[in-house]
Amino acid sequence: MATRSGLVWLALLAYLPSQFTRLASAQGTAPAAGESVSLTTRDGVQLKISYFPGTARIGSPQAKQTTPVVFLHDFKGSRAVFAALVQNLLAASKGETGRTFAAVTVDLRAHGESTKLANSAQVELNAAKLNKEDYVAMASYLDAVRNFLVTKNDEGELNLNKLCLVGSGMGASVAANWAFTDWSYPPLAVGKQGQDVKAIAMISPQWTFNGLMVQRPMQFRVLKERVAWMIVYGDKDPKFQADAVRITKQLERFHPATDETGAKRPASGLTVLKLNTRLQGDSLLTQFGVSADDQIVKFLSENVADTQQEWISRRNRLP
């Protein structure tokens, strides 16, 4: 038999989704539906992603300034964890004359729907059985996602030169290593390869996650200096706090809060958000979403989406 308190909770759970729908309708928006896409990595893993295109007309000047944001989840998570944050991000677009975002959420290998090999449907990848080499591969084989974005860039849907990464827990380590690879490509005399990542938001980053370290990215001066960084963590967990502080110290001297005159910079390139909780990673994101989401969107807007970056065709320029 249901108790009175239980009935109240059931009523509340039924009420909240309808209120969300009413609010979205009142604001003239509705939750965007992502396109489910299957990609194949160089080593044969089928990666499942969801693509949320921007609202600008394809090929228009505004579309060629659309900021793509790739979302990378935590250990044993999935791309579904970013649903609310993606909706907030897309809602921050300002129509035909302002900023626009596109989003890609990724099920990392052995997680979510990315558990199959392209040439062996019987093999099931298991996150609990991943080893150090698997975690390193998780970052290095995300060129499948980049290639997808190259196609969208060359079709005039977005500007790959404004690429942003949002990583949670394990995904933060993956994001930092993706950016390291991106900024390690040598410049070309003609065309462009790499140097596309312009901002990274790391939710509960760790110095090392099962052998996947952020040491190399934190030793790469040009990456630390030329990319905007955001660190989000719960400050009631001493280990996560220590790692977040360690990473912040690696970055802060490259992103002073004031300019040469002492005036505060509108966007210093480094944002640190400490939340009063022990929660970390995907749990922090889902339970403190309202506190974190708006700040993440603001960070991406100020440091990348509200800036102009050259749009460059990448056709036949893949590294």
Instruction: Say if 11 falls within a structural domain.
Output: no
Instruction: Say if 21 falls within a structural domain.
Output: no
- Neighbouring CB atoms inside 10 A of 258's CB total 10
* 148 neighbors 49 (Cβ within 8 angstroms): yes
The CATH number covering residue 65 comes to: 3.40.50.1820
Flag whether pLDDT at 125 surpasses 50.
yes
Exposed/middle/buried for residue 73 (C-beta within 10 Å: 0-12, 13-18, 19+): buried
Instruction: Say if 9 falls within a structural domain.
Output: no
Exposed/middle/buried for residue 190 (C-beta within 10 Å: 0-12, 13-18, 19+): exposed
Least trusted range by pLDDT, from 11-25, 50-64, 136-150, 192-206: 11-25
- Structural domain count of the chain: 1
At 133-144, the pLDDT tens digits run 999 888 888 999
Least trusted range by pLDDT, from 9-18, 143-152, 234-243: 9-18
Instruction: Say if 14 falls within a structural domain.
Output: no
Q: How far is the CA of 261 from the CAs of 6, 96, 258, in angstroms?
A: 60, 36, 8
Q: Can you give the pLDDT at residue 236? A: 96
Q: Can you give the pLDDT at residue 41? A: 93
* 247 neighbors 207 (Cβ within 8 angstroms): yes
Instruction: Say if 6 falls within a structural domain.
Output: no
Instruction: Say if 212 falls within a structural domain.
Output: yes
Residue 168: phi and psi, rounded to 5, are: -115, 125
Residue 117 lies in domain? 38-305
Q: Can you give the pLDDT at residue 290? A: 72
Instruction: Say if 30 falls within a structural domain.
Output: no
CB-based contacts of 41: which residues, under 8 Å, 6+ apart?
47, 109, 141, 142, 143, 144
